[in-house]
Amino acid sequence: MNPDDLEWLLAEHEGLEEELPALLEALGRDPPGWGEVRSRLDSIALELPIHLEVEELVVFPWLGQRLPAAIGSLDGLLREHHRLVEELNEIRSLAAAEHPAADLRERVQHLIRNLRGHSRMEKDLLERALEAPLPAASDSFPTRGPGGRSRPQ
Ligand SMILES: [Fe+2]
Ligand SMILES: [Fe+2]
């Protein structure tokens, strides 16, 4: 991980956050633009899990190594990933059923707040990690993988 990776992550967050206000706009029309709402939700539903998976497989393990004191925060972010996906899936189901748009807008606003708070915390951790001293070489390459198996030498 390096400053370029941080730029990538921030650009991903911006991309996700830009989709959501457009959703609010489509929901605010009379009648609501259901086709646009559903297609925007579909595209977020494609992007978000990939973003979260990259964080879980690459970014969070790196953050955990660089900032051991932040392990608790990373666990919290991981739990939030599940909640964000659940929230999005619920909104998608309600949009498919053309649930009252005013309530759906409130749910989208809630998701926007949660996503922004989540992204802000990730950004703060990444900035701190990039400034943190490099760990000792023995900490960088664990000799045991998941499940306690030895890594191939
Ligand atoms: Fe995340
Ligand atoms: Fe993220």
User: What pLDDT digit, counting tens, does each position of 104-127 carry?
Assistant: 999 999 999 999 999 999 999 999
User: What pLDDT digit, counting tens, does each position of 46-105 carry?
Assistant: 999 999 999 999 999 999 999 999 999 999 999 999 999 999 999 999 999 999 999 999
CB 16 within 8 A of CB 44: yes
Ligand 2: centre distance to CA 80 (Å): 10
DSSP secondary structure code for residue 151 in this structure: P
Ligand 1: centre distance to CA 116 (Å): 10
Q: pTM surpassing 0.75?
A: yes
What phi, psi does 72 have (nearest 5°)?
A: -60, -40
Q: Is the pLDDT at 142 greater than 90, yes or no?
A: no
Domains defined for the chain, CATH in brackets: 3-130 (1.20.120)
Ligand 2: centre distance to CA 138 (Å): 28
Tokens at residue 61, please? 């393990």
Q: Is the pLDDT at 9 greater than 80, yes or no?
A: yes
Ligand 2: centre distance to CA 106 (Å): 22
Whose structure tokens read 């605010």?
Answer: 28
Q: Is the pLDDT at 148 greater than 60, yes or no?
A: no
In the chain, count of helices (H) and strands (E)?
A: 6, 0
Most confident of 11-15, 31-35, 127-131, 139-143: 31-35
Ligand 2: centre distance to CA 102 (Å): 27
In this structure, the dihedral spanned by the alpha carbons of residues 49, 54, 60 and 65, taken in order and rounded to 10 degrees, is 170
Which ligand has its closest atom nearest to the C-alpha of 47? 2
User: What pLDDT digit, counting tens, does each position of 21-51 carry?
Assistant: 899 999 999 999 999 999 999 999 999 999 9
Q: Is the pLDDT at 14 greater than 70, yes or no?
A: yes
